A and B are shown apart, each in its own frame.
Chain A
Amino acid sequence: MAENQEKESVLTKKDIRKAYNGWHQWAEVGHSYERMQGIGMCRSQLHILEKLYKDNPEGLKKALKRQSELFNTEGCIGATVVGATVSMEETMVELPEEEKNSIITSLKVGLMGPFAGLGDSLNWTVLKPIFLGIGCDLAIKGNPLGAVIAIIFAVLMYLEGRYLYQMGYRMGKSAFTAILGGNLISKLTTISSILGMFMMGALGASYVSLATPIEIVIGNNDAIVLQEALDSIVGGILPLGALFLIHFIMKKTNRYGLICLSVMAVSVVGSFFGIF
């Protein structure tokens, strides 16, 4: 543990916790194209840098500068990088400025990308739809518990970030190899992706609706109601068709707004001609 190796650290456990809460509070404030989360990153470590460089105003300026440069990662899994950065600032305080700058900056910049990728793909692409899918299901039945599910997800994400931040702090640089090197994450992502696919199928069946009033008249008075004919094969063919048509279109283009508008246009035109 880092605490044992350090002779006498000026930072208390409370300072370390405060830096995570600071990160959680300020990460995205003032997000801009040029600096992204840089200002937030610097803001969350103010109290730590202030303590470390109490008698060294020049070092403080350099440290503030170093931490306010461009930084961008995901807030929860990416907090590992923040934790490790705090631990490096603490252990390297005695190193010469030049050396310290290059080590800390290169680690920060080199690892923010991979961790952002992990966080975005696990937390927000896979876990979020699973949780919010359940939340939506409750909400669409008019149940306020739907919002509670969203809040539970938020709390879990906060705790995940806090755990990984502490881990990043304890292990410093070695945290990265532990997380990026092991195959636990890839296994976790695969498994949650399967659950995610399954959930999306269930959501699609529950909430995508499409039916046609078309009747095909044969001979005298016999009319085949198209919808009944389709349902006799298997239920839900038209919605499934709509789902995969959209799936196909999305392979060609990324312009989701345009797809939304096209769906609306096709629906209204179809309604005018009595297809839907």
Chain B
Amino acid sequence: MTLKLAIISGIIYGYANTEMFYVPMNIFWLCGLVHGLIFGIVTGDISTAMILGGQITLLTISQVASGGVEPSDICLASCITIPLALITGMDVKTALPLCIAVGLIGNMNTPFFYSVNNYMAHVVDKYVDRGDIRGIKRMTWLTAAIDFVISFPFAFIGVYFGSTVVMALVEKMPEWIVNGLNVAGGILPAIGIMVTLKVIDRPKMIPVFLMGYFMVILFGVSVIGAAIMGGCVVAIMWNVSAFRTEKQ
């Protein structure tokens, strides 16, 4: 099972690094939900895998693909942490700090891929200068293939050899560290949420944030319930005169 998961993990990470097909690539690149579904179907434990994927995604919910700061490699974090947690039976909240570590390490390989792509761009240039359309087609496929091949091992090795390491670590950890990591797992989602606030960058709307917060705390509404209420309020605002700038 470990080998199977390691191969699937390598394939997912390899595909994400070819960056082919903009939208599906971004879904693999920026969130762990689909990873969760895939690993869940393979192991048969869809529920745990989805919980892990959801937690990872929540942590990094505001990351934007291009420009700005990319705090971590969510794709590698999902590709390694979800299978590892499923194999070792690690607690979800303990898995989150591991996920952050993997994400931070993973982000360091971006310059490496960009350098490879830079070289390939110059190879493509030779065919552009000759006006060789078939050559350009071949070379762009080759670029994608190279990106796949060099990224596959990152996820494969992480899952295949990581499981023994993590298993040994989890067994020997003292109670207070485990508790501390659990506490951290509870606070960490705040980072993803607050980064979103920062990038939306509308400080005057903090009360709207508090409305959403206390609506859930005080009335126990679900997030989807809150989304429906928020959607209605926003739909009303769309027609309120203060926002109607183009007419009158």
Q: Do A and B bind each other?
A: yes
Residues of A that sit less than 8 Å from B by CB: 23-35, 38-40, 42-43, 46, 49-50, 57, 60-61, 64-65, 68, 72, 74-76, 116, 120, 124-126, 128-130, 132-144, 146-147, 149-151, 153-155, 157-158, 161, 182-184, 187, 190-210, 234-236, 239-240, 242-243, 246-247, 250-251, 254, 256-257, 259-261, 263-264, 267-272, 276
Determine the residue in chain B with the shortest Cβ distance to A46.
B133
A sample of 26 inter-chain contacts (CB < 8 A) reads: A31-B19, A64-B131, A128-B62, A132-B31, A132-B61, A137-B224, A143-B47, A143-B50, A146-B36, A182-B246, A187-B243, A193-B202, A194-B230, A198-B211, A198-B212, A200-B197, A201-B226, A204-B209, A208-B187, A234-B214, A242-B190, A254-B69, A259-B191, A260-B188, A263-B188, A271-B180
Q: From known contacts A197-B202, A200-B209, infer whether A207 and B189 are also in contact, taking CB-CB under 8 Å.
A: yes
| B194/A246 in contact, CB under 8 A | yes
Residue of A nearest to B27 (CB): A154
Report Cα–Cα, A64/B179, bound state, in Å. 59
Tell me if B2 is interfacial: C-beta within 8 Å of chain A. no
A35 touches B58 (CB 8 A): no
A117 vs B140: C-alpha distance when bound (angstroms): 27
Task: State which of B4-12, B83-91, B117-125, B155-163 sits at the interface with chain A.
Answer: B117-125
Residue B120 contacts which of A24, A30, A132, A187 (CB distance < 8 angstroms)? A30
CB neighbours of A38 from chain B (8 A): 121
Find the residue from A35, A65, A130, A136 having the highest chain B CB count within 10 A: A136
The reply to whether A271 and B33 contact each other, CB–CB distance below 8 Å, is no
Do the beta carbons of A25 and B121 come within 8 Å of each other?
A: no
Chain B proximity of A115: nearest CB distance (Å)? 12
Our pick among B115, B181, B223, B243 for the contact of A267 (Cβ within 8 Å) is B181
Complex Cα gap A49–B125 (Å):
16
CA distance A23 to B22 in the complex (A): 8
Q: Does B205 sit at the interface, judged by CB under 8 A?
A: yes
Chain B contact patch, size range: 35 or more
Q: Say yes or no: B33 contacts A130, CB within 8 Å.
A: no
Asked if A142 contacts B66 (CB within 8 A), the reply is no
User: Are A268 and B194 in contact, with the CB atoms below 8 A?
Assistant: no
Do B31 and A270 touch across chains, with their CB atoms under 8 A apart? no
Provide the bound-state CA to CA distance between A50 and B58, in Å.
Answer: 45
Q: Contacts A46-B133, A150-B33, A202-B213 given; indicate if A250 touches B61 (C-beta within 8 A).
A: no
Please indicate the chain A residues that have their CB under 8 angstroms from the CB of B212 in the complex: 197-205
The 8 Å CB contact of A147, one of B37, B190, B216, is: B37
Bound CA span A178–B118, Å: 35
Q: How far is the CA of A258 from the CA of B189 in the complex (A)?
A: 15
B222 at the interface (CB under 8 A from A): yes
Name the B residues within 8 Å of A150 (CB-CB).
27, 31, 33-34
Docked pose: A138 CA to B224 CA in angstroms: 9
Which residue of B72, B180, B186, B245 is within 8 Å of A272 (Cβ)? B180
Task: Report yes or no: A260 in contact with B191, Cβ–Cβ below 8 A.
Answer: yes
Report how far A252 CA is from B112 CA in the complex, Å: 30
Q: Which residue of B lies closest to A237 (CB)?
A: B217
Q: Of residues 116 to 165 in B, which have CB atoms within 8 Å of A's CB atoms?
A: 117-118, 120-121, 124-125, 128-131, 133, 136-137, 140, 143-144, 147
B169 within 8 Å of A (CB atoms): no
Query: Nearest A residue to B117 by beta-carbon distance?
Result: A32
Question: In the complex, what distance in Å separates the CA atom of A61 from the CA atom of B121?
Answer: 16
Pairs of residues from A and B, 5 with the lowest C-beta to C-beta distance, nearest first: A201-B212, A139-B54, A268-B180, A271-B180, A142-B47
The smallest C-beta distance from A41 to any residue of chain B, in angstroms, reads 11
Is B200 close to A, CB under 8 A? Answer: yes
Is B50 touching A144 in the complex (CB atoms < 8 A)? Answer: yes
- Quick one: given A61-B128, A199-B230, are A267 and B183 in contact (CB under 8 Å)? yes
> Which residue on A lies nearest to B207, using beta carbons?
A197
B124 contacts across to A, CB distance below 8 A: 30, 39, 42, 68
Task: Chain A residues near B137: list those with CB within 8 A.
Answer: 43, 46
CA of A261 to CA of B34, assembled, Å: 26
Structural contact, B58 and A29, CB atoms closer than 8 A: no
Whether B40 lies near A136 (C-beta < 8 A) is no
Contact B46 A142 (CB under 8 A): yes
